[in-house]
């Protein structure tokens, strides 16, 4: 059976997350239903990461096994037809080796978190950003983030429901950019690592927002990390500002 890698974009608001669920809509379920329209049978796809309810993706990656040979462009076009009107799109497809796996072949994940500082309610960006009202100190947040780079025990910054065997992860990059708008300011947090713990990104951004607001000194991020205690974490920010922005592989199947 030929195997195909799919690069997927979606708006997470209508879904209970990536993972298929019996009684709630999911991104995985939507794509598997579209695949069943092309080849009527049960389909199971595997993804690079399982995003939570309300979390978006710019470049999620999954793979599927088909019975017939499809030209990748035709497969993506056919899937997009059957995915309508749901906010899910196959932006690229590629045939891969049978041993290639969307999750286990990946060597890094990249996340983007968008935070909007604005007093008036967001209109065009509603559901796509986390909105706060008070201005944030960019340099203070960068100073706080610097304490998290490298290999650490991230117990403080993971959900108590996290199923990872170890809380030790290597965070390769956190960069924060400021983007002025006419009626507000957007802060874009970029995080890169081989893998992440459950709620790690949202816990980190929620903590750094406290630093930017002046409620925490940057050094408190280091103390929180070293505490290895979930109670030492800042507030976990909401999911609507989070995007799975990219997945890296030794050989990019879409290159």
Cβ atoms of residues 5 and 93 within 8 Å: yes
- Catalytic-labelled residue, pool 52, 65, 92, 172: 52
CA-based end-to-end distance of the chain: 22
If phi over 0 gives left and psi between -120 and 50 gives alpha, with beta otherwise, what is residue 127? left
Q: Give the sign of the dihedral formed by CA 210, CA 213, CA 216, CA 217.
A: positive
Could you tell me whether strands 130-132 and 108-117 are parallel, antiparallel, or unpaired per DSSP bridges? parallel
For residue 52, indicate whether it is catalytic: yes
Contacts of 158 (CB under 8 A, 6+ apart): 164, 167, 197, 198, 199, 200, 203, 230
Residues in the chain: 255
Give the catalytic positions in this structure.
52
């Amino acid at each position: 059976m030929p195997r195909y890698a799919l690069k997927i974009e979606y708006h997470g608001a209508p879904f209970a997350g990536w993972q298929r669920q019996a009684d709630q809509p999911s991104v995985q379920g939507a794509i598997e239903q579209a695949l069943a329209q092309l080849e009527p049978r049960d389909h199971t796809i595997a993804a690079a990461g399982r995003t939570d309810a309300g979390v978006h993706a710019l470049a999620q990656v999954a793979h599927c096994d088909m019975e017939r040979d499809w030209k990748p462009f035709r497969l993506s076009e056919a899937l997009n037809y059957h995915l309508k009107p749901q906010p899910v799109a196959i932006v690229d497809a590629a045939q891969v080796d049978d041993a290639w796996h969307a999750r286990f072949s990946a060597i890094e994940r990249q996340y983007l978190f968008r935070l909007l500082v604005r007093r008036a309610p967001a209109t065009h960006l509603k559901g796509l950003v986390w909105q706060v009202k008070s201005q944030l100190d960019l340099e203070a947040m960068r100073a706080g983030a610097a304490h998290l780079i490298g290999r650490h025990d991230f117990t403080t910054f993971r959900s108590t429901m996290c199923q990872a065997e170890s809380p030790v992860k290597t965070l390769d990059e956190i960069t924060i950019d400021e983007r002025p708008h006419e009626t507000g300011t957007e802060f874009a947090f970029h995080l890169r690592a081989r893998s992440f713990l459950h709620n790690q990104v949202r816990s980190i951004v929620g903590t750094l927002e406290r630093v930017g607001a002046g409620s925490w000194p940057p050094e408190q991020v280091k103390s929180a990390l070293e505490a290895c205690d979930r109670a030492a974490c800042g507030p976990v920010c909401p999911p609507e500002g989070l995007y799975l922005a990219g997945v890296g592989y030794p050989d990019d199947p879409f290159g």
